[in-house]
Amino acid sequence: MSMTTEQRTFDSLDPATGAVVGTHPVQDARAVRAAVAEAERAAEWWGGLGWAERRRRLLDYKAVVTRDIARIVGTVHRETGKPKADATLEAILAITHLDWAARNARKVLGARRVSPGMVGANLAATLEYLPLGVVGVIGPWNYPVFTPMGSIAYALAAGNAVVFKPSELTPGTGVLLAELFAEAVPEQPVFRTVTGLGETGAALAGDPGVKKIAFTGSTATAKRVMAACAQNLTPMVAECGGKDALIVDADADVAAAADAALWGAMSNSGQTCVGVERVYVVDAVYDAFMRELTGRAREVRAGEDYGPVTMPAQLDVIRRHIDDAVASGKAVLGGPESVRAPYVDPVIVEDVPEDSPAVREETFGPTLTIKRVADAEEALEKANATAYGLAGTIFSGDRRRAVELARRMRSGMTAINSVISFASVPALPFGGLGDSGFGRIHGADGLREFARPKAVSRQRFALPGMNLTSFTRTQAELDRVVKLVTFLHGRRKQ
């Protein structure tokens, strides 16, 4: 990345070749303020369009994105280095989320009557979820379409305007997504992109016109963003990566488990927040699993099956983790020599101590640590012994045990006998706990994340002799209500 202060622009680079892909303005706090102010007006208009019209516009946007998928794929491919097939896959997933958010917003967020209860029998109670106004989205570079769209689509469907700050590594993708939106919704800048470096994101997080921040990135940066949000008590949703584990149980299909572990760990060069980084294999199938895994892994090549490491600084983290893991454990495939910048070939190390960086810290590279365990209980205990809590995978032939293990896995999402499958189901909420962050995107929870509940109670008629919210109330009225409450709630239910 190069930057000239005079013009206040920066370049995005092709990580495979170093060639300049595009040049973009570094938008400062003033530019961000202006964008947010315009978005505030656009939010009024968009919020006023109503459910049916917003749905129509969002489905139009979906159609534009789908028709222009080749342009999106080309930009993502150049900016991240990932193969076009992978860029296509993430664009398709983003389209399915856009579709779900558009079609389900009214059902999830629209006004509904709720029961007023016996004591409130004279009331009509309604609940609806109103837009927040302007939502700021701060996005990552690893899935520059799918990940931010998980916030953008849901925030727009909930009736908000969006100001999006893409990662400085993938600004062209961010600009393109907003440009395509303007084709479907030309009247107002309901969704716009601001480009720049970290300070541009910081300006967005600290802008008083922004009513919620949706952040994806590292835990350390999430803390800084949260501090900026604190100035205006701006709420945020934080998706901060993980150290996800895959468990192989005694009766698992080991070939399928090995295939999933390999793809979950190495695809996208390991730069996946819900990628597989650790594998715990039950003793009974350990050797069979390792045979399957190493046989398959030898066929996988960086630069062919997956792209380069997108962020050059990450190579230092990956190298440090590999060096340490190989010194303390046993290299099964690859090693320090696998790092040949900007590519990293698959690295698999077994028996790495549980307190090593490669087991505790997010590597974000095409590496796997494998550990033999006595049984699924030990596997779960070790899988859960992490500060992160994003997702995980279980391979088991026993459906009941797999579901039970999944429920007890300390993570926001778990896939059974498949890898990352939850991300393709728009109705499932996506997010983590602990150092992986908080809040949810996707699904009904993702829609509610970008809305505020509005509760209204309307008195339909006065309840004679039971008016307690008045200085004119009498002891007799109070006694009657106590009697009613005792009748309703005073008995022990069997």
Residue 229 as a binder of ligand NDP (CB under 6 A): the answer is no
The residue from 38, 79, 90, 239 that is catalytic is 239
Give the pair of three-digit tokens for residue 43.
């939010």
Tokens of 34: 């202006």
Any contact of residue 268 with ligand NDP (CB under 6 A)?
no
Beta bridge partners of 22: 12
Question: Which of 85/227 has CB closer to ligand NDP?
Answer: 227
| C-alpha distances out from residue 106 to 56, 57, 100, 130, Å | 12, 14, 11, 11
Mark out the alpha helices in 158-282 (DSSP H runs): 171-184, 198-206, 219-230, 254-266
Task: Say whether 394 sits in a helix, a strand or coil.
Answer: strand
Q: Does 202 contact ligand NDP by CB under 6 A?
A: yes
Strand pairing class (392-395; 415-416): parallel
Establish if 307 lies at the interface with ligand NDP (CB under 6 A).
Answer: no
Question: Is residue 234 a contact point for ligand NDP (CB under 6 A)?
Answer: no
240 among known catalytic residues: no
Question: Does residue 167 touch ligand NDP according to CB under 6 A?
Answer: yes
Residue 240 in contact with ligand NDP, rule: CB under 6 A: yes
| 160 vs 221 by CB, closer to ligand NDP | 221
Instruction: Indicate the DSSP class of residue 492.
Output: P
Measured from the CB atom, is 3 or 121 closer to ligand NDP? 3
Which residues in the 75-104 window bind ligand NDP by CB under 6 A? none
Q: Is 314 in the site for ligand NDP (CB under 6 A)?
A: yes
Q: How far apart are CA 278 and CA 252, in angstroms?
A: 17
Site string for ligand NDP, 105-144 (x = CB under 6 A): ---------------------------------xxxxx--
CA distances in angstroms from 252 to 185, 202, 287, 396, listed in the order given = 49, 46, 13, 4
- Please indicate whether residue 273 is annotated as part of the active site: yes
Contact between 302 and ligand NDP per CB under 6 A: no
Closer residue to ligand NDP, CB minimum distance, 148 or 346: 148
Residue 277 neighbours by CB under 8 Å, 6+ apart: 242, 243, 244, 245, 265, 270, 362, 363, 367, 368, 369
Strands 236-239 and 244-248: unpaired
Nearer to ligand NDP, 193 or 338 (CB): 193
**Residues forming the site for ligand NDP (CB under 6 A):** 138-142, 165, 167-169, 197-198, 201-202, 205, 216-218, 221, 224-225, 239-241, 273, 311, 314, 362, 364
